[in-house]
Structure 1
């Protein structure tokens, strides 16, 4: 891809740029000051793998749907997934980090239903690795209160930058999950400092603002997203406090993601798009994207966009 093409893909009106900046800043600060359990070399390896896998998958998909046309690599989506992996995935074996990065991107292309991802890529990659081997684990994200506060503010900003109509799942999940934690503490007579401590987790913030809020894997309607948030919150609570297993958030999101097609059928809504047509046109997107959808070539291009973004 040429440099102008890359610049067009990194258009400032795309909210994913803010997400990338937030995650990259946290990773850089963690590597420099917080002594994250990941080296710079490992982070570069993961990022290079997700970008390479994304390029290969985009090439294969474009070759099947639009033979002979130039391929646009979805850099932003791959970077968000790769940076999230760097912050959460921990392993002592570099080859397992590579496998996790490949699975994270591949799951977007292999597991789909009517043009939507079945699983959030990072969530799918982490859960797959937890199922495949006991040589990986997930960082709890205990970064200290000051860093957590700054990251929380940046994460809230990412929701503001996103379309406001899609932030409901984030707020609904926090309300449901927080209510369950505090309700359990009150029922057991525990001090409220205990549920507050459970909420002071970088992994929880990453999950809330960058996984469950993924607009490409959540239900299309607002009512569906609120229902989905409640299901995920209850599932996470059940895994942690009834099954007594770690990573309840990840297991719950993966399981509940299978219900999204059913929720969309029961509570239909408008499908999310990252850029509106005017914004994409201003970004220098190919004119082909905005031609009348009845033309065969454009229909193939639209199918490619729905499959890869």
Structure 2
């Protein structure tokens, strides 16, 4: 049996993610009823590519290393996959009326967060926030007139059996991708269990309608969030137990945001959970540094 290195699995997963969201974007603007201007994904892609390559070039010069996108056209394409996914996610999930600026702000924030907000983990700098989710969340917070694309946005142009076949197809494709390549099924299960749990607690403790609290799970947007956003390999734990806790924590934060009457809880909950995880990583890194210094001090003595 031939084993596959984690790096190779990550690239394969990114390629599948990129292909899936590209196909959905094309179908959305041609047949499904996406309400953003068709030029929107083109603009976010162009700005995302340009900004990512610029920041990576600058960062490589500062760190005196070759830029990560050097090495041929294939290397360039693989390097830009996260930005490609983020740009199309911002263009698909946000609705800024006829203005292109909210989408451009979102992808600029997403790319900048991936380059700037980093923590060194296992000797390598890793970004701590899900880029597209961070861009979308900050855009929603700063521009009250911008909203998330309405639920009917994904199925406005179809009817009949396609109304449930499309979400089913997206669900199956995402589940297969995460099961085979990302290894994030424990996180997904933790997130889903936590979402049901917070709905049950809200029903018992605060007299919320239990079925209504579960209704977001029936939408295609929730399926996309579950299979393609919360499972970001770069900003979620690898260990299975930690994945479950990450999913449970995101659901718990979402429930608290709902109780506080905060809109767009899914995106904000993921930002908060990623931030909490970053704090734990910093504490753990500080603890390891102190332990290493203590050992070196004892050895020197």
| TM-score normalised by L of structure 2 | 0.76
Structure 1, 198-207 or 244-253: larger mean CA deviation: 198-207
**1:189 to 1:257, Cα distance in 2 relative to 1, 3 A:** closer
Residue in 1 that maps onto 2:12: 14
CA shift digits 1:246-274 (9 cap, x unpaired) = 21011111112111134447889xxxxxx
Give yes or no for contact 1:220–1:264 (8 Å, CA) kept in 2: no
CA distance in 2, matches of 1:64, 1:107: 18
Residue in 2 that maps onto 1:224: 242
Gaps of 5+ in 2: 1-7, 71-75, 155-162, 286-301
**1:63 to 1:249, Cα distance in 2 relative to 1, 3 A:** same
> Secondary structure in 2 aligned to 1:171?
helix
> Secondary structure in 2 aligned to 1:244?
coil
Give yes or no for contact 1:219–1:264 (8 Å, CA) kept in 2: no
| Aligned residue among 161, 166, 172 for 1:153 | 172
Residue in 1 that maps onto 2:293: none
| Aligned residue among 111, 119, 139 for 2:129 | 119
Matched, 1:162 2:181: yes
CA shift digits 1:161-206 (9 cap, x unpaired) = 3243x331122101211233255457748474x3453211222122
Moved over 6 A (4+): 10-13, 265-268
**1:250 to 1:11, Cα distance in 2 relative to 1, 3 A:** closer
CA shift digits 1:21-64 (9 cap, x unpaired) = 11111111111112111122111111111111111111111222
Q: Note the 1:78-227 alignment, pairs <5 A.
A: 78-92=83-97, 93-114=99-120, 115-142=125-152, 143=154, 144-164=163-183, 166-182=184-200, 184-185=202-203, 188=207, 190=209, 192=211, 194-227=212-245
Question: Which is helix-richer, 1 or 2?
Answer: 2
> Secondary structure in 1 aligned to 2:234?
coil
CA distance in 1, matches of 2:186, 2:227: 11
Q: Note the 1:252-271 alignment, pairs <5 A.
A: 252-264=269-281
| Aligned residue among 46, 59, 78 for 2:57 | 59
CA distance in 1, matches of 2:219, 2:36: 18
